[in-house]
Chains A and B, each alone.
Chain A
Amino acid sequence: QKEVEQNSGPLSVPEGAIASLNCTYSDRGSQSFFWYRQYSGKSPELIMFIYSNGDKEDGRFTAQLNKASQYVSLLIRDSQPSDSATYLCAVYNTDKLIFGTGTRLQVFP
């Protein structure tokens, strides 16, 4: 079992819709969780981090954490074509970030 798992996608959503990206992790003791956005050929860019169970909102982005079920999700409201990218989930574990392989999101007009 991979430590951090994401569906590779692509996840296709129409412009204006809500995109929901999910991530599960294997280490129940993990405490810190991150979402990165990566455009093709570019470097990962930090979008959000979350530590506590529940929701954390930042603009059009909402991160959700459920430690009991060991999953993290990212919701993107009012999706725009410019949101089309690969979204990486990362979990902090023993001095390192463990990254999932990412979910590719496609937002079509």
Chain B
Amino acid sequence: DADVTQTPRNRITKTGKRIMLECSQTKGHDRMYWYRQDPGLGLRLIYYSFDVKDINKGEISDGYSVSRQAQAKFSLSLESAIPNQTALYFCATSGGNTGYEQYFGPGTRLTVT
């Protein structure tokens, strides 16, 4: 079984809808991250969390919110989806050998029409 899972894997939604992307991990890591990836722009950090009570904004948090329900679960919400939020979204965890390297989930491809 995968150590970091994301649901859904693909989602098509309409402008203005609220949508939640979920991430779960069995690695036992404390740190979790949400990124989006767009062609030519690379990976951009949306939010990150070092434990259940710690949530931090990344470089592109506007239009997004997160919830850390447990050590193993970190959800990303788009309150009112817009077309330029169409992207590939990745969840990641860290806490391995160095504490800094990150391990990624399989991704969610989100399309906002």
Contact = CB atoms under 8 A, between A and B. Distances in A.
Contact of A46 (B45, B50, B101): B101
Nearest to A31: B100
A32 B100 contact: yes
Contacts of B106: 42-43
Interface residues of B, number: 21
20 contacts: A32-B100, A42-B106, A42-B107, A43-B90, A43-B104, A43-B105, A43-B106, A44-B104, A45-B104, A46-B101, A46-B102, A46-B103, A49-B97, A51-B98, A90-B102, A95-B48, A99-B42, A100-B42, A101-B40, A101-B41
Given A42-B107, A95-B50, A95-B56, 14 more contacts: A32-B98, A32-B100, A34-B101, A41-B88, A41-B107, A43-B105, A44-B43, A44-B90, A46-B101, A46-B103, A49-B97, A49-B98, A96-B45, A100-B42
